[in-house]
Amino acid sequence: MSSSPPKTETMTLLFWAGMAALLFANLDSLRQVPQSTAIGALLIGVACMYPVYLWCAGRVQGLPVFPFFSLTYLWTFCLPLLSGNLNVWSYSPEAHLKAALTTVLFLVSGTVVWLQIVGTPQTIKKPFRALKTDTADNVFISMVAAGAFLNMYVVGGWSGIPDKLFTIVRGIILGLSFLGIFVLAYRAGQNSMPRTKQYIFFIALVANIVTAAAGLILKTALTLFLLSVMAYVIGGKRLPILGLLMGIFLLLPLHHGKHEMRHKYWEGPTAHYVQPWQYPAWFQEWWGYAQANKNRVPQRWEKIEEKESFVERSSVIHMLMMAQAKIPEPFPFLGGKTYAIIPGLIVPRALNPHKLRSHEGTHMLNIHVQRQTYEQTLKTTIAWGLLPEAYANFGYFGCAFIGGILGAFYGVITLAAIGTPPFSARMMFCVLVMSLALASTEWTAGVYAATLFQSSVPIVGIKYAFMKIYRPQFSPRSPGLTASGQPLYPYLVQPKPRERAAPGQTPSPRPGGVPLGRG
């Protein structure tokens, strides 16, 4: 049996090191919480991290779309059971275990279906569309820079673009900028992009993160930072040490000072705007608050939710507990009502002026269990998530079924992109779906479908307007190579086929990972 590639071994070691650190950090909490709660947390942890392990160990190929999706259940369903979240501890340990087992059912269902699909990649035979690498590098670097300019436009309070046009422009630029950050960081991790372009991309990325943070929405900046780090790791199977240290020591500490900045500049009688030349003084003031605020007692004007930790704010498992406590008694199952509105949410508002709100499914759930009135939903949205929504509609069957549907969807998208170049339509759509898998922790199915449809439009436009059709051709002796042994397409690498077993032997269950070639 051949040994794993060194990069795969490195990722496996990093996975186990991370798991050991995670377990050590939460060991005291596991000992202090009731046994039922601790067992539930451990079961969710195993279920959500197993797909991540399979990808790190090279047992599955392609982008880790489903592993990233399952990973989000670590901080939304697993760790909240070990935190001091009052929403979670308003329910009994028995309710914790019941919700945990439901979560495991959901994740296991998705994992089984996903593995059946991605475990058998096929040789690419159908034509596919892709951008020329050099051109695509330049276009997406420009989009990342445009994203930074758009942030300056909003934070600086600039005008000049009509509101209706701005909404369209903003959606296109943000979508392509987000996509560009991932694809370019992925290529930088592979070291398949010229060094000069890597430096230019890094400058544009830093500008995008800084301008996003200037609006005092630190979550957006952290999302861009983590997206670029994850893409780099996926592409190169190694950590970007310098970039990681910069983010940890320069970006994360700002969290301690954001409440003072928001209180000072958001609660005034007029809106406060920051111009690019004011950024140094702006971040210096913010950094000062952050350093002084580490051990300070919170003021009375600070909201309780602002003092919560990341895990406490990210918790969604308490919504599942609430659903299980109220459904089917005293409130009945919804029977798919929140899914029935999805087709109408996909239709653009320009074609349907009376289109429902994108969070209409979320509002239906809150009204159904009397968490909110209709009037209250006009001002506040209380998030649910895909799993609690599935239970509210169809109970345990819905949890297993929706988990399987998501596993199949993520598996098919992953399989279609395996072996294609980074700037192919298949790979770009796969990246988009993976980003939504990370962002969908609090979404209902309607929000997910509407966001996916809207975000796919630019990719479809680029696909048919600018992408060239490539038709894979294979020589009889060596698929993917010409008769002289040269690659037909420099960046096209076919998926590794299954090893054929000898008579009486069981075939290898999953193929090892194969990196994409240079662009």
pLDDT per residue of the chain (519 residues) written in tens, 0 to 9: 334 445 678 788 889 999 999 999 999 999 999 999 999 999 999 999 999 999 988 888 888 999 999 999 999 999 999 987 888 988 999 999 999 999 999 999 999 999 999 887 666 667 788 888 888 899 899 999 999 999 999 888 888 888 778 877 887 888 888 889 988 998 888 888 889 999 999 999 999 999 998 888 888 888 888 888 888 888 887 788 888 888 888 888 888 888 888 888 887 777 788 899 999 999 898 888 888 776 555 554 444 444 555 565 668 899 999 999 998 889 999 999 999 999 888 887 767 777 788 888 899 999 998 888 888 888 778 889 999 999 999 999 999 999 999 999 999 999 988 878 888 899 889 988 988 888 888 899 999 998 888 888 888 988 888 888 887 654 444 444 444 444 433 334 444 444 444 444 444 433 333 333 333
Query: Is 303 exposed, middle or buried, given 0-12, 13-18 or 19+ CB atoms closer than 10 A?
Result: exposed
Residues 284, 136, single domain; the answer is yes
Per-residue buried b or exposed e for 3-37, using 16+ beta carbons within 10 Å of the residue's own CB? ebeeebeebbeebeeeeeeeeeebeebbeebeebb
The pLDDT assigned to 43 comes to 96
Residues 148, 268, single domain; the answer is yes
Q: Is residue 366 part of a domain?
A: no
Residues 166, 272, single domain; the answer is yes
Question: N- to C-terminal Cα distance for the chain?
Answer: 31
The pLDDT assigned to 3 comes to 41
- Domain boundary, last residue among 291, 316, 343: 291
Residues 285, 182, single domain; the answer is yes
- Domain boundary, last residue among 275, 291, 307: 291
Q: Is residue 286 part of a domain?
A: yes
Q: Is residue 407 part of a domain?
A: yes
When divided into structural domains, the chain yields a total of 2
Question: pTM (2 decimals)?
Answer: 0.79
Residues 160, 263, single domain; the answer is yes
Q: Is residue 506 part of a domain?
A: no
Residue numbers of the domain that contains 239: 132-291
The pLDDT assigned to 501 comes to 45
DSSP labels, 252-291? GGGGGGHHHHHHHHHSSSS-----GGGHHHHHHHHHHHHH
Q: Is residue 176 part of a domain?
A: yes
Residues 238, 141, single domain; the answer is yes
Residues 104, 173, single domain; the answer is no
Q: Is residue 240 part of a domain?
A: yes
For the record, the structure tokens of 418 come out as 């395996």
CA distances 141 to 10, 205, 206, 428, Å, are 30, 9, 12, 15
Residues 161, 286, single domain; the answer is yes
The pLDDT assigned to 296 comes to 55
Residues 147, 232, single domain; the answer is yes
At 469, phi and psi to the nearest 5?
-85, 130
For the record, the structure tokens of 347 come out as 């239709």
Q: Is residue 156 part of a domain?
A: yes
Rounded CA separation 379/369 (Å): 18
Residues 193, 269, single domain; the answer is yes
- Domain boundary, last residue among 244, 267, 291: 291
Long-range residue pairs from 3-11, CB within 8 A, at least 24 positions apart, any chain: 4/57, 4/58, 4/512, 5/58, 5/512, 5/513, 7/236, 7/237, 7/238, 7/515, 8/56, 8/57, 8/58, 8/237, 8/512, 8/513, 10/237, 10/238, 11/56, 11/57, 11/58, 11/233, 11/237
3-state secondary structure of 489: coil
Rounded CA separation 403/400 (Å): 5
Residues 99, 158, single domain; the answer is no
Residues 93, 149, single domain; the answer is no
Q: Is residue 469 part of a domain?
A: no
The pLDDT assigned to 144 comes to 94
